[in-house]
Every structure is written in C-alpha cells, then in structure tokens.
Amino acid sequence: MLLEQLKSQINGFLKENREQKFTAQNMADGLHMTSAADYKQVVNAMNALVREGEAVDQEGRYQYNVNAGYVIGEYRANDKGFGFVKYDDELPDFFINPENTLQAMQGDQVRVSTLKPSASPDRGPEGKVEEILSHAYERIVGAFSLGSEAKNMIGELRISDKKAMNFKVLVNGDGLKPSDGQVVVAEVVTFPDKTHPRELVAHVVETLGFKDEPGMDILQIVYAKKIPSDFPEDVLADAKKIPSDVLASDWQGREDITEQTLVTIDGADTKDIDDAVVAWRLSNGNYHLGVHIADVSHYVTEGSSIDKEAYNRGTSVYLTDRVIPMLPRNISNGIASLNPNVERLAMSAEMEINPEGRVVNHRLHTSVMKSHARMTYDAVNKILEGDVFVQEEYAQLTPMFKVMGELHEILYKMRKKRGAIEFDAPEAQIIVDDEGKAVDIQLRERGTAERMIESFMLAANETVAEHFDKLEVPFLYRIHEVPDGERAKSFFEFSKALGHPVYGDPSKVTPVMLQKLMNDIAGDPAEQMISTMMLRAMKQAKYSPEPVGHFGLGAEYYTHFTSPIRRYPDLTVHRLIKWYEKHGYGIESQAKYADSLMKIGEDTSTRERRAIDAERDVDALKKAEYMLDKVGLEFDGVVNSALKFGLFISLENTVEGLVHISNLTDDHYEYDESHAALIGRTKHHIYQIGQKVRVKVLRVNKEERTVDFILIDPESAPTTTIRVATKDNGKFGKGRNRDERRQNERRGKSEGPKQKRGPLDAKQGQKRDSKRNF
C-alpha cells in the first residue's frame, strides 16, 4: 500500500476514535497487515503522521492530535517586540507581530494560528500565538541583588542567560533568602503579561555560591541549560552495586578475543575509553578490521535508575574545564572503560575490507577482550611519521599501526570517491588555570591517527546500519538528510555569482556535486566563503528510525554504535543488536522497540543540541574572558560573516568578534545579499567571507560573551564594481532576515544551535564529537 494512502486510512481511523490510543501492532492487526514488511509500513506511516502533527505519540501509543489545524512550535523572540515560531526544519518560520505574541518568551512552546498564509517559498506565514504550552524559563539562574523598589519584593535577579537579560526578575520572600551577590536558582511564579510585558516574579529554591567563585561562571550556564550535573542518590547507590571486574558468569555466550592485539587510541587526557581496534592483512589481499566497543548495555540495564538518568542526560557534555558524564564515573571510567591489560566486555564489529574500501564480510557479536596498550594520538602519529624512537618503544605494535595507516588511506579514498564532504577548520582548546580562568587558546591539530580512528569508527557505524536496514527491522539511525531544494537553489545561485557554478540540478543535489565544487575551489580566495555558505544550506544531523542515509558522509547507511559510554543512541543500538540476536526478526520481536524509537530519536537529538548549546556558550564565555586584557591590541583576522549590521571577524586563535556597522565610518555600507557582502556606497570597498583584515579589540563583555572590534586601515580593503540593489530580494535561506537571525543566534539572542565546521560525524580526537551537527 502506498504510504500516503496508508497515512490517510490510519489518520481517518484515529480521528473517528480520537479518545482512544492505539499501538502500531493494534493498527497493523486491524488493517490485516501481518507480514514484517507490512508492519514496518504501518510504523512508518504512523510516525509520519506524528511528524506532520496529525497524531501524537505517547510512549508508543498513538492518538489523534486535537491540535491538528494549529501549529505547535518554539518561539524565538526579537528585541524589537516581534518574534518567529519555528515548527519545521523545512518550512519557513511563522512571523508573529508584537500584538500577537501573547508575551511569549524565548524558547517557549506555543500553539499558533495562521493569520496570513506564506507569500512565497522563502517567506513564512504570519501567525498569532493562541496559547503558551510550556515556558522555557520556569526555572532561571542568575546573580541575586538585595533590595528592590517593587512592593513585597526582597531583591532582583540578573539572569545569566543572555537570551533573557532584558527581562527584570523580581524576587519575592516565599523561598530562600540569599545574600547579595549569590548565584541562585529561582522558580518563576508570574510570567510576563500585557501589564508587565518585561517582568517576572520568582522565588529562590537553591543557592549555588557567590558569583566570583571559581567555576561559577560555567555552572550558571549548566543550570541555565537544564543539564543535570549531579547524579541522584539512588543512581549512585545502584552504580556502586556494579562489580569493578568482569565476573566468570559474564563470559557465557561470548567470544574470547583477549589474545588479539587490540589497542585503544585516544587523547592523552581521555578517561572514558569506549573503543579498541585491531587490524591485519588477510592472505587474499583484503584487510581484517576489528572495532570492539565497550558493552555498556550489560551493566546499564533497560529501565533501571541508571538507564533513566542516562536517557535524561542523553549525552556526556564536554566543557572547558570539566566533563558532565552521561553515566556515573565508576561505570564510565571504570568497568565500562577499556583500560589496558584488564578483561572487559565488548560489542564487536569484525569486518573484512577489500582494497577498494568495501566491506565484503562482517560479523557482529559479543566478546571478552583485553586492550594490549593504551595509545595516544600523539604517539601513533609519531609512529606513522617514522619516528624511530617511538617505533622502537612500541616495536611489537608498530607493524600493525602501519597496516592501520594503509587501511585508513583506502577507506578515506573510498569515502572521497562516493562524495563524502569534509569541512576541516581549526578547533580551539581553551587552557584554564587552577582558578578556572582562561589563560591561553591553542589550536588542535588532527593528525593521521585521529583521522584513522575516525575512518574505523565510520566503517563500523555504516556496517551496523546496513546490516539492520537490509533486515528491514525497526532500528535507530543517525541521519543527515538531503538539503531541501530552495536552500540548495539559493546556494547554487550564490556560488555561481562568485564565478564557481555547481553543476547539476539543485532539486536533486548529491554529495558528489558539492565535493566536486570543493575540489574546484581548493586554494581559491572564495573557498572559505563558499564552504561556509554550503554548510549553512545543509540540514542538521539527527537520530531517527527512518534509514534515509547520511548526506554529508555520502553514506547510504549510518548509525551511532561506537560511543555508548557517552551517547544514549549508541547504548540503544547495542540493545537492539542483542535483542534481535536473541529473539529473531519476526513481527513479535520487532514490536518490542518499534513504537519507541521515534521518541528516543527525537529526545536524544534534542539533548544533543542542548549539549552543543552549552559547549558553545562556555567556549564563547571563556574566549571573552581570555580577551579581557587584550583591549586595545591589534590582531589579524578573517571575515567570518558579512551581515546588514556588521562583520563577524575570526582571529587566528578562533576568537570571534563583531565590527558593528556603526564602526565602519569610512563610508556608508550596504548589504548585498547575493554576494553576502558589505559594500561601500561611495568608495566601493567590499567585505566578504574569507577576506583578511587587521582589527583592534574595542571592548569585551564576559557576561554577555561578546568581543567587539574596529578595523585597522579600512582604506586598504579591495574595491568592487558590484552595486548594491536598492531592494532586498531575500534569496538566501528561509523566513525574514534569515542570515541576520542566524548571526543573532551566535550572539546569543536565539535558541537555535550554532553549526560548527569540522570533520564529519565520527569519534573525534578529544572526545568532542558531541559538538558536531553531523
């Protein structure tokens, strides 16, 4: 049955029985769709109805959506009083006039009615907020100031989250009574209304410490993002019950691979080691690659207190001076960590790979392993570079590392051939002192060892995904969808305007098209500009039961299997592998997870974005802190973005700051959207992405995480024959002022996650892959 026909049939039934809830199995039985393939069709149709807002999924039970006809989305506020509601990754946002916001705040979940339909594909409809379904700021974090002019109030709270800094928070005496200067958590009891549109009332429920204490700046961000940072007592108690060594009973049903020369390769400071690798040449000319992953699911059982807390966290969060782990440390750094010379339980993916980089055979199984060495990226890089002293130190392992290097090159060439796109840009490591103050910023370098492990993790993830997709059973995938036609068309026009056309149909864009463009512009002055705009045209990667592949990697199949210590989706994938191995692939077996995978995918994707936001905000905070004593100094930089309100400049150390349009005083500058450039009306100087500039630090605000620059010698900027059109044609992106709103996000005025450039979706050298949107 065609998907649309099936959706229509199911939706009609749900609508007629709107008071009842049904599982996918109920629906399949009622439709007499009893085969495994039919059941999967039913699940896909019901999940599609949920995505489209026609149905709701309540823990695997589906019901007609009484809000059908309205739009449910996230409110994004503008300082001028109007706002936008994001409700779909593809469609333009709703525009909300100031009189129709219902005083919604940034991040609120709202129900919206349509006042005016969309006028064009890139301009959203106009709507009205009918109801605020949930408030983003039910709990807020900030510094308490004693005393208030308002009646019956003991003080005021300065919100640390800069997205709400313009709101006044009055503190009543119903809760704790903190001291002046303490950082507190407050519960909001009164939200903005028509009478007090910029005012909230709250009472204090927790004190965190004084604002000048070491680490308090980061802790405020952690609390503001609602990231759980302390494990509940019952979780810690249950974690202590887990043995610290592999028990004799744990060997049952597992392969003994302790004699294989497995090694772990990680950053020097890594403590949660979740993958080990081994490789050798086969007699037929192929390669054996073993990727052995910590079997976390053996210890974190489904439905346990530890599991529920891990789900709530979704991922470990890697901040400048701390890690907030997904699992208690005696698990993440202990029994589940693949430490050297000790037995550990593993989930193993063993692959036979031919000289073209294709996996021709594979096996997935449980095992008992032993790491023979805890290697660092630095040491393996030196071995692969021919450092004889390090080679002698690891004489028994050096031949294997050379085989691994060969295999990595094969896999890398295979990915390039199929069109995988790699955005490689400098990534910073912020160095802090004992007090948590930023004292240096160092650029991380990704050597062959880092890329090699990335290749091996990608191969394992793809192999696992393909295995289960071909079985046609419910599974959890990591997906990166094809860019939508409008975004692709806009990017194609942008690239063509710079003299670098993309050859192909934007409505059928492929990774190979974009990879060819990247190859053509390598070393060209326009390279950074085009690659930046290309990334902005792409979608975000996410978790989903729909096996649509991974566009950026050029992969038909992809999942996350390799990091169960620090990503909940990987833990779920391990459970699925074990479940199907034990119970088979029939309809009854499929029903176990079929109804829950969509929800798991949505929740873990949301928590991943929460972690990305927190990491981004902490990086911005610490970079601003580092620049505090640099006011008045000059630096070389590159234009990272040109917008209507100014230029964002990136320094060589990755610090980003703004040259506001008001500080471009040598001419009157206008924004040309088709070239993403600011152009002087009289002197015709032009500023575009990728352009080198010299800047002076004008001011730094750590609290707002901002750095402001002024240009040195603007007269040296290149000139252009381009003349700015008088009317903004609004071509690139969706909705009103898309580029400006995106940059506002980077300045903290919107909730949306900032995409970062970098290698695609695999394990990264410093355990930072949670920062990647791929």
Q: Which residue has the higher pLDDT, 35 or 376?
A: 376
Q: How many C-alpha atoms does 443 have within 13 Å on its Cβ side?
A: 11
Measured CA to CA in angstroms, residue 721 lies from 147, 526, 685 at distances of 59, 17, 9
260: left (phi over 0), alpha (psi -120 to 50) or beta: beta
CATH of the domain at 42: 1.10.10
Q: How many C-alpha atoms does 6 have within 13 Å on its Cβ side?
A: 22
Query: Cα 663–666–670 angle (5° rounding)?
Result: 75
Query: Cα 450–456–461 angle (5° rounding)?
Result: 125
Tens of pLDDT, residue by residue over 174-227, are: 999 999 999 999 999 999 999 999 999 999 999 999 999 999 999 999 999 999
* Residues 120, 196 share a domain: no
Question: Residue 51: pLDDT band by 50, 70, 90 thresholds?
Answer: confident
Residue 238 neighbours by CB distance under 10 Å: 19
Confirm whether 95 is domain-assigned: yes
- Of the candidates 174, 198, 213, which is a domain's last residue? 213
Tokens 């071509």 -> residue: 731
CATH of the domain at 644: 2.40.50.140
* Residues 688, 638 share a domain: yes
pLDDT at 727 over 90: no
- Rounded to two decimals, the pTM is 0.83
* Residues 627, 752 share a domain: yes
- Check residue 426 and give its pLDDT: 72
The tokens describing 631, both together, are: 């006011």
Question: Mean pLDDT across the chain, nearest whole number?
Answer: 89
Tens of pLDDT, residue by residue over 411-462, are: 999 999 999 988 766 788 999 999 999 999 999 888 999 999 999 999 999 9
- Mean pLDDT of all residues in 16-24: 89
* Residues 190, 122 share a domain: no
pLDDT at 729 over 90: no
Confirm whether 55 is domain-assigned: yes
* Residues 201, 172 share a domain: yes
- Mean pLDDT of all residues in 525-551: 88
- Check residue 739 and give its pLDDT: 40
Which residues sit opposite 62 in a β-bridge?
22, 57
Contact predicate 413/485, CB 8 Å: no
Confirm whether 289 is domain-assigned: no
Lowest mean pLDDT of 104-108, 300-304, 514-518, name the range: 514-518
Tens of pLDDT, residue by residue over 317-331, are: 999 989 999 999 999
| 427 sits in which H/E element | strand 427-432
pLDDT at 735 over 70: no
Q: Strand, coil or helix: what is 242? A: coil
pLDDT above 90 as % of the chain? 71
Question: Residue 52: pLDDT band by 50, 70, 90 thresholds?
Answer: confident
Instruction: Tell me which residue of 336, 456, 363 sits closest to 401, measured CA to CA.
Output: 456
- Check residue 740 and give its pLDDT: 42
Confirm whether 660 is domain-assigned: yes
The tokens describing 244, both together, are: 């610290």
- Mean pLDDT of all residues in 257-275: 95
Confirm whether 725 is domain-assigned: yes
- Of the candidates 492, 520, 538, which is a domain's last residue? 538
Confirm whether 317 is domain-assigned: no
Question: Residue 90: pLDDT band by 50, 70, 90 thresholds?
Answer: confident
pLDDT at 119 over 80: no
Q: HEC string of 480-521? A: ECCCCHHHHHHHHHHHHHCCCCCCCCHHHCCHHHHHHHHHHC
* Residues 715, 751 share a domain: yes
Query: Cα 95–96–97 angle (5° rounding)?
Result: 120
Q: How far is CA 498 from the centre of its chain?
A: 30
Tens of pLDDT, residue by residue over 230-245, are: 999 999 999 999 999 9
Measured CA to CA in angstroms, residue 521 lies from 186, 195, 498 at distances of 52, 56, 11
Question: Residue 122: pLDDT band by 50, 70, 90 thresholds?
Answer: low
Q: How far is CA 56 from the centre of its chain?
A: 25
* Residues 175, 91 share a domain: no
Tokens 């993790």 -> residue: 457
* Residues 150, 128 share a domain: no
Beta pairing, strands 669-672 & 656-660:
unpaired
Lowest mean pLDDT of 50-64, 105-119, 235-249, 522-536, name the range: 522-536
Instruction: Return d(Cα 553, Cα 558) in angstroms, integer.
Output: 9
Question: Residue 583: pLDDT band by 50, 70, 90 thresholds?
Answer: very high
- Check residue 661 and give its pLDDT: 96
- How many domains does the chain divide into? 5
Q: How many C-alpha atoms does 594 have within 13 Å on its Cβ side?
A: 29
* Residues 172, 127 share a domain: no
* Residues 128, 148 share a domain: no
Confirm whether 510 is domain-assigned: yes
Q: Strand, coil or helix: what is 365? A: strand
550: left (phi over 0), alpha (psi -120 to 50) or beta: beta
Residue 331 neighbours by CB distance under 10 Å: 22
- Check residue 38 and give its pLDDT: 87
CATH of the domain at 201: 2.40.50.700
pLDDT at 754 over 50: no
b/e 2-25 (16+ beta carbons within 10 angstroms → b): eeeebbeebbeebeeeeeebbbbb
Query: Cα 347–351–353 angle (5° rounding)?
Result: 160
Contact predicate 444/428, CB 8 Å: yes
* Residues 207, 101 share a domain: no
Domain of 47, in residue numbers: 3-64
- Mean pLDDT of all residues in 396-402: 97
Confirm whether 60 is domain-assigned: yes
* Residues 754, 629 share a domain: yes
The tokens describing 619, both together, are: 């990086």
- Of the candidates 117, 134, 151, which is a domain's last residue? 134
Beta pairing, strands 427-432 & 374-376:
unpaired
Instruction: Tell me which residue of 372, 555, 593 sits closest to 478, measured CA to CA.
Output: 555
